[in-house]
Structure formats: structure tokens, C-alpha cells
């Protein structure tokens, strides 16, 4: 079988479905490892600086617990946390194994790349996970059923959500984002009637409700009157 024949036999969707599953499994392992590190921070009475950050790094906290457990006559309370050391080792090994599987599964794509699409929850569709608009912690949802397809196919399937940085040549109408759902109880009409009521408030000519007025004379978004 020639190289050309092998290349044409590769189905991008099949490859990326397998990769999407591998990445999902890897995130599960990462979550378990992160939870174990949090338990270690608590075990050594580390100080939590913010909701997601501790005074010590995960590695430093781990090494602190190892050192305390290796000391002569460790506190009984600390001995109860010895299992966390084994769990860290287990999850690190599992992460290394699945990362290697991902590297192997990526080989067809590296040899002959095809269009890929990733969706951020309540966000945009990206062409790669390294877009500078994304945070390192952002988790992307793979769209393997679109792998190898065109940008137009992605818009048809998910709406005008293309990231302007990942798809700089995409038409503007493909990047406007999802249509905002309007609250039926709210009125967005801006023009007021000719007369105001009680200072900075005015009657809305569209719904008949009362709304506050902006500095340039428009009405702010306001609730529609409740029908009698």
C-alpha cells in the first residue's frame, strides 16, 4: 500500500473521536490528581491564599508531607494521610500513560493535518487549543464530527461562533456569536415619550412602563407593565 493510499484511508472523524475520548479520560485523571493534592494541602495545614491557590505549590506540599512522614515518630494524624502519597504516584503514572497514548494517536494528524474544531462552553469555536484568547485552564470540547470539514459546516452545525483569531478570514456574520435570548418580561425600547415623570424617570412609548433615563436621554432596559 502506498503512502498516498494510506493517507486517503485515514478518516479524520474517527481519529479525533478516539482522541476526544482519550483527552476526556486524561482530564478525569487530572481531576483526581488535583483533588489528591488539595487533600495534601489540608493535611499539612497549608494556607489557602485564594479559592484556587495555596501558599505552597502542589509539588512543595507533596514533598512537605513526604518529609513529615519520613521523620522519626510522625504524628498519628499525619500517618492517616500516608495513602495520599501512593495516590499521587498512581495518578501521575496513569497521566503519563494516557499522555503517551495521545501522542501516538496524534501521529496521523501531524503527518497530514486537517481542520479541527473545539468548542468552549458558552463560548466560541476554536481551530486549535492554543488560541491566545484562551486561558491555560480552559477546557475545550472536541467537535470530532466536524473534523476535516469546512468552516461553513461548523457554522451550520453550531451557529456563528467562530473565533476571529482562529479564523481571521471568516465572514463577519460567522463570528457574531450566539443570538441573545430576550427576556419577554423586559423591554429594550430606548425612546421616551415627550414628558417625564418624577425627575429622571420617563414613560416608555412602546410598553407604557416607567424606566430610568440615561445621561444622553435614552431609556434603560426595563420591565414591561404586568397586564391587569
Q: What are phi and psi of 133, to 5 degrees?
A: -80, -10
Instruction: List the grid coordinates of 58.
Output: 502542589
Q: Is the pLDDT of residue 170 over 60?
A: yes
Q: Is 142 exposed, middle or buried (0-12, 13-18, 19+ CB in 10 A)?
A: buried
Interval 163-186 mean pLDDT: 75
The pLDDT tens digits for 183-223 are: 777 777 666 655 555 567 777 877 877 888 777 677 777 88
Mean pLDDT of the region 143-172: 89
Which residues in the chain belong to E strands, given as ranges? 48-50, 53-54, 118-119, 125-126, 141-142, 186-187, 192-197, 201-204, 210-212, 222-223
**Distances in Å between the alpha carbon of 53 and those of 37, 88, 100?**
12, 19, 29
pLDDT tens-digit readout, 89-144: 999 999 999 999 999 999 999 999 999 999 988 788 999 888 998 888 888 999 99
Q: Is the pLDDT of residue 148 over 70?
A: yes
Neighbours of 137 (CB within 10 A): 6
- With residue 3 as reference, give the H or E element that holds it: helix 3-9
Burial code (b: 16+ CB inside 10 Å, e: under 16) for 46-85 equals beeeeeeebebebeebbebbeeebeeeeeeeeeeebeebe
- What are the pLDDT digits (tens) for 23-82? 999 999 999 999 999 999 999 999 999 988 999 999 999 999 999 999 988 888 888 899
Q: What is the pTM of this model?
A: 0.71
Query: Is there a contact between 140 and 129 (Cβ–Cβ < 8 Å)?
Result: yes
**pLDDT tier at 16, thresholds 50, 70, 90:** very high
CA 63 – CA 75 distance, rounded (Å):
16
Does an H or E element contain 151, and which?
A: helix 151-158
d(CA 210, CA 203): 5
The set of long-range contacts for 167-172, using a CB threshold of 8 Å and a minimum separation of 24, is 167/127
Amino acid at each position: 500500500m502506498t503512502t498516498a493510499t494510506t493517507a486517503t484511508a485515514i478518516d479524520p472523524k474517527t481519529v479525533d473521536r478516539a482522541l476526544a475520548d482519550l483527552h476526556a479520560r486524561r482530564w478525569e485523571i487530572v481531576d483526581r490528581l488535583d483533588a489528591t493534592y488539595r487533600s495534601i494541602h489540608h493535611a499539612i495545614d497549608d494556607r489557602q491564599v485564594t479559592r484556587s491557590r495555596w501558599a505552597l505549590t502542589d509539588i512543595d506540599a507533596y514533598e512537605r508531607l513526604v518529609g513529615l512522614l519520613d521523620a522519626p515518630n510522625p504524628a498519628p494524624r499525619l500517618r492517616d494521610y500516608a495513602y495520599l502519597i501512593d495516590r499521587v504516584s498512581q495518578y501521575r503514572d496513569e497521566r503519563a500513560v494516557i499522555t503517551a497514548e495521545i501522542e501516538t494517536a496524534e501521529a496521523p494528524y501531524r503527518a497530514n493535518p486537517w481542520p479541527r474544531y473545539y468548542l468552549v462552553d458558552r463560548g466560541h469555536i476554536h481551530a486549535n487549543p492554543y488560541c491566545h484568547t484562551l486561558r491555560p485552564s480552559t477546557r475545550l470540547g472536541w467537535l470530532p464530527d466536524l473534523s476535516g470539514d469546512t468552516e461553513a459546516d461548523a457554522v451550520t452545525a453550531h451557529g456563528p461562533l467562530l473565533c476571529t483569531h482562529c479564523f481571521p478570514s471568516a465572514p463577519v456574520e460567522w463570528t457574531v456569536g450566539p443570538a441573545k435570548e430576550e427576556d419577554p418580561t423586559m423591554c429594550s425600547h430606548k425612546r421616551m415619550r415627550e414628558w417625564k415623570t418624577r425627575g429622571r424617570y420617563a414613560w416608555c412609548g412602546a410598553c407604557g412602563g416607567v424606566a430610568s433615563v440615561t445621561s444622553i436621554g435614552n431609556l434603560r432596559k426595563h420591565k414591561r407593565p404586568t397586564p391587569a
